[in-house]
Amino acid sequence: MSLIFPTLIALAASAAFVVIAIAMFRRSRSQKFPTVMLGDSDDDSRALLRSVRSRMRWAIVISTAVTFGVAILPIDRWGTALMVAPGIGVVAGLAFISAAPLGRRSRWPDVRHAALAPRQTASFGPRWGFLLPIVTVSSLALFLLVTAATASVDSFGLSRSITVTSESGSHSSGPYPGWFYALPLLIIALLISAATLLSVYRIASAPARGTAETAMFEAAARRSLTKFSLMSATAVIVFYLGAIAMTAGTAIRSASQWTALKPEYINDPSKLGTPPVPGDFLRGVVQPQFAAASTEVLVGLVLIMFALTLVLLAVEVALRGPITSRATPDNLLTVSA
């Protein structure tokens, strides 16, 4: 029964998240995008749009391949490779984006133009878009430090279990994100942060294509790439936060449940039947650890749902690219602003 309220809270949070996600989708679709006519001879603009879309799609392919490649590495039997795989995958994808965000120029025209508006790292995304990964990385780091500080050593001498003391004694359970898991995850979080920062810096500072006509396409391309990078990085960090919350919650839930023989059997073991029946035992949970752990599991589930939605949004950005619709005549393209 104690699980009903956290479950209701988690369901309400999930429903609220779905409502917000739908609202975001509708808002992005209803925005008025500037429409630009592309002539059939405007190869530069078409090449830029193609290049940006293909770059994001390749980043997804590389991230997925690296994630699966690392996940199946036979490094250890405690799941470390599986744990770091999504982080290394997204770092690889972001590194690919950073290499040449807008592609490389095939030729420089004799007459070249440059806008006088300074481009900065934060120029091509909303403030919340930059704030979200910072907040989630900080939350992940704080969460890992707390779990690492509360962890205990398991039978292999590794900091990967949790011990809860109850009236019937101490109970340990794992896997729990102690230092054994927290340290590699902190390094991965640091790597993701650095790769994201490098990616958005490179997107903003990539040289312009040099024609006044492509300026609007370029700005849209930079915004798409920035959105893609920030969403991918945030998705993986939120996924880690959710997975760690679920793992920690499950371990604490398990450790905070205890089973002990009834006192009369301890005093006189001969009364104990063979085999013992469930009625011979006393069962209990340690509160508030059990309730907190149950809530942690549910919050973890909600965070994983949030992460998966962000992944879908990032894939949608990659598939759509800077173009939101293709209208007739064939040379009319709509570019997101």
Partner 1 sequence: MITVDDNNPTPPFEQIRSQLSAQILTGVLADGDRLPSVRQLASDLGLAPGTVARAYSILEADALIESRRGAGTRVRHQSSHPRTLVPETERFIREARANSLTLEETVQIIRATWA
Where does residue 91 rank: exposed (0-12), middle (13-18), buried (19+ CB within 10 A)? buried
265 exposure class (CB count in 10 Å sphere: 0-12, 13-18, 19+): middle
* Nearest approach, Cβ of residue 77 and partner 1 (Å): 49
* Residue closer to partner 1 (CB basis): 46 or 105: 105
Q: Which is nearer to partner 1, 101 or 249 (CB)?
A: 101
Closest to 72 in 3D by CA, of 96, 93, 89: 89
Reduced to 3 states (helix: H, G, I; strand: E, B; else coil), residue 278 is helix
Helix 289-320 with 215-255: angle, nearest 10 deg: 160
Minimum separation from the CB atom of position 337 to partner 1 (A): 19
CB of 140 to partner 1, least distance (A): 30
- Nearer to partner 1 by Cβ, of 1 and 116: the residue is 116
Nearer to partner 1, 36 or 191 (CB): 36
Distance in angstroms (rounded) separating the CA atoms of residues 316 and 56: 10
Supply the minimum distance, in Å, between the C-beta of residue 239 and partner 1. 35
Amino acid at 205: S
Q: Would you tell me which residues interact with partner 1 (CB under 8 A)? A: 105, 108, 110-119, 205-208, 210, 212
Instruction: Return the axis-axis angle of helices 80-99 and 179-205, rounded to nearest 10°.
Output: 10
Minimum CB separation from partner 1 for residue 108, in Å?
5
Spell out where 245-301 has E strands. Answer: 257-261, 281-285
Pick the closer one to partner 1 by CB: 49 or 102: 102
